[in-house]
Chain A
């Protein structure tokens, strides 16, 4: 199931929240588990078994790790079993066909049949989340979860089940056992959720449709300008889509008393790639930092090893996103840029005006997405050539002008929405001590209602509602 649908908002959410608050506290985690499984099984029930298997494996492993806390060897065995099983499941469903089809079968004489399995939704997210539990317990960062229902609720928690943020167990350890749902947290959750819903429905879907139109233009008919606009639109779609999903997840979490960490911090205002990756999909970067980069020695070791660690982490980040060459290339691309920044680029960048640092960052990011978006490398290559005039239908045409002119207001809104300005302004007014604050606080519920109406209107009257992160 996806948040930005009518049946989620006007059926699922009512049932989920309604019973959540009707039930006594001790039942709430069980209810969360049940309703989350319904959410997950919606339209694809068979992988529920896989999900339940994952829950049991990690519950048992976590239990063993805790039980043999004093016997390091046994504890470590339990940890390794969990890591291997989780990664094996992920590897099998996500990478089997890639490894066989794109690597092994390229060897002459080898011809292993492909499986063509559909990827269980959100497997990359919940596998990492389940793993973090066993690891956190092993490290002593979190206590063991005795109730399998509560642990199941953590793994399946519907807000972030299929597209993150990847919640580390230690961050919700306490909340899982005891949390207080309050009016102001709920209201804050609604605000966050609404911001996400609006971003997804009013921005991401709309700009996404523009991008898919540009992408669908045959190579020889696309102009240079259209190609550039296209990839810029895709960058905006991806950010709005993904960050909107995180916002909605965080908002829904708050409605039920959970506080998840932010996943995005205005990545497009970053002034270096290092900065960008501190702002984009923070929960994934943190996961890799804690569970791969630091264990490998991080940056506190020899220069060679530091660079090796960076490379490994970025290679894995790339692979995590999908079983295609372009994702690996994309990961390596960032790995190399980050190494360069660490080595010398950051020092250079400090000397130039902020504006140029910003431009530099955006250009790199744009090319990053260019690698990211085309799983089919020949399509991607043709598109890149278009951007530089090869095989393009001239520099620009009247259709481009029309595209830009009719979307001027929309583009301006999107650019503003990429910056922290709206949020800052909101809080400035909302928490204002004097009269403006008062008026604003009256207006907010009204605005909330208006936004709900508009978002519902767009949901009712549009067929374009893709879900970008379904395959991760």
Chain B
């Protein structure tokens, strides 16, 4: 080391004056001229961070975002007792059996499960949770969040990116590209996002479940599926020309569904292609800003379904179409933050005598939550964002139209044939149409946890219809719940 000072001196050094220094010299020269600008920059920067920094604390926190339709992160609990309870939870998890874990999964939300199943945590994770939650808290409760999200959407559009947050701007329509959601917990306890392979698997297992139900049904009851297309399927003709449709794996999903159903011998109603064709003809069958079908779209689906039962649907002119709201802005808008198509219109298809119908919404044990004349809860949902829940929505806006049990009768003296509708939210707007033919038992298996005996034992029961949207059908395995209740019931009868 002794000789290194020598070396340092003779070592070649860049002779040219670095650009940065030249600039710095010029900067000093210009100092006087730029002083006003410097003060302006300083003021702008400080004012900006101070304004938002203070506004963040002053503006009260929200629990729920109407525009994004999701719960917002609340101020994190930054206490030692929180760490202690996290540690206790993990110790509990480590000693849990698989069935206990599955139960834990069903009672907690996914994010919590994601955080909780990781049993190989180090001390550090208990602190990173704070940092993560503070980050989420700031992002979720940030002042003018909605407006800032619109700025980002505008910037993405301005850069001609065609999409924002994985939602495509397809002309007037907003189209969710990728509909696979949820996570998978590996055997070693690690968590990964579900892939399209998992979605194929879920589609197949759902079909298997339905086929299992069918095999156990008595002859006077049939079961069929009507799977609705997503916007990416229905609005295919509106997608940008450069958009690679095949990258969405849409064809594989439908192929998987159709192959599985035909292998299992399940009766399917091909409502997807019907709506796609109507869309191509320029009809307004799916919302521009929401993932649901419009009431017109539901009507076309109803026609197909009712024909598959061997009956004739009521023609369109036998409904009186009224506008419930023309200010509906839905879920895809919530993600995209901008749209070119304006707000959507929700129509109600009224018909003569529908005010005599009664819709009774109950929980799994039969406690009545809400009773509606006809099928619409017009007052509760008119002025909030979730307007689609006007269809069989309960009085509690948080529950919307997805409740455990909904019973629909026509109020007549004669009991009619019964249909059990196992559905996701797409089924909600089918209800008014189907109710014109059958008394309905509408079950949402994502919420329902009863035993079904009373419905299945009804001598009038003729049909079971599984009406899902492909997005739910590829992600949600709760049809298993239906199978687990229906199959044993009919098995016990045949014994």
Contact = CB atoms under 8 A, between A and B. Distances in A.
B96 interface: no
A445 B149 CA distance: 23
B58 interface: no
B135 A5 contact: yes
B148 A401 contact: no
Interface in A416-472: 420, 427, 430-431, 433, 437, 441-442, 444-445, 448-449, 452-454, 456-462
Interface string B10-51: 110010001110010011011101111111111111001110
Residue of B31, B152, B160, B242 with most chain A CB atoms under a 10 A cut-off: B152
Given A46-B124, A460-B148, A431 B27 contact: yes
Interface string B120-160: 00111001101110110011001001001101110100011
Contacts of B152: 454, 457-458, 460-462
Nearest to B153: A461
Contacts of B8: 290, 294
Given A398-B247, A461-B165, A184 B31 contact: yes
Given A294-B11, A300-B11, A398 B244 contact: yes
Nearest to A458: B152
A308 to B, nearest CB: 15
A188 B49 contact: no
Interface string A9-46: 11101100000000000000000000000000011111
A90 B161 CA distance: 44
A13 B49 CA distance: 9
Given A448-B44, A456-B52, A6 B37 contact: no
Size category of the A interface is 35 or more
Nearest to A405: B242
Nearest to A183: B38
A438 B42 CA distance: 18
A295 interface: yes
B131 A42 contact: yes
B337 interface: yes
Interface in B203-217: none
A262 B24 CA distance: 12
Contacts of A433: 33
A352 interface: no
B244 A399 contact: yes
Contacts of A462: 152
Contacts of A461: 148-149, 152-153, 165, 337
Q: Which of A401, A413, A452 has the most CB of B within 10 A?
A: A452
B128 A139 contact: no
A209 B162 CA distance: 16
Contacts of B145: 460
B244 A430 contact: no
Given A187-B41, A410-B161, A431-B30, A6 B135 contact: yes
A183 B42 contact: yes
B78 to A, nearest CB: 12
A441 B33 contact: yes
Interface string A319-359: 00000000000000000000000000000000000000000
Contact of B7 (A44, A45, A294): A294
A7 B134 contact: yes
A297 interface: yes
A444 B163 contact: no
B1 interface: yes
A402 interface: yes
Interface string B36-79: 11111111110011101100100000000000000000000000
A84 B167 CA distance: 55
B319 interface: no
Contacts of B414: none
Q: Is the interface of B mostly helix, strand, loop or mixed?
A: helix
B352 interface: no
Contacts of A401: 242, 244
A187 B7 contact: no
A190 B1 CA distance: 42
Contacts of A409: 159-161
A188 B163 CA distance: 35
A57 to B, nearest CB: 20
Nearest to A431: B30
A44 B138 contact: no
A45 B126 CA distance: 11
Contact of B26 (A5, A188, A402, A431): A431
A118 interface: yes
Nearest to B38: A187
B309 interface: no
B124 to A, nearest CB: 6
Nearest to A44: B124
A397 interface: yes
A203 B34 CA distance: 29
Nearest to A403: B244
Contact of B1 (A187, A295, A431): A295
A265 B19 CA distance: 9
A430 B30 CA distance: 9
B94 to A, nearest CB: 17
A457 B20 contact: no
B38 A7 contact: no
Contacts of B5: 139
A186 interface: yes
B4 interface: yes
Contacts of A186: 38, 42
24 contacts: A5-B138, A6-B138, A6-B139, A9-B49, A43-B132, A76-B1, A118-B122, A139-B5, A187-B38, A187-B39, A188-B27, A297-B7, A399-B247, A407-B161, A433-B33, A441-B36, A444-B37, A444-B40, A445-B37, A448-B44, A456-B52, A457-B148, A461-B149, A461-B165
Given A6-B138, A452-B48, 12 more contacts: A9-B49, A43-B128, A43-B132, A44-B128, A76-B1, A294-B8, A402-B162, A402-B244, A406-B161, A430-B34, A445-B43, A453-B151
Interface of B: 1, 4-5, 7-8, 10-11, 14, 18-20, 23, 26-27, 29-31, 33-45, 48-50, 52-53, 56, 122-124, 127-128, 130-132, 134-135, 138-139, 142, 145, 148-149, 151-153, 155, 159-163, 165, 242-244, 246-247, 337
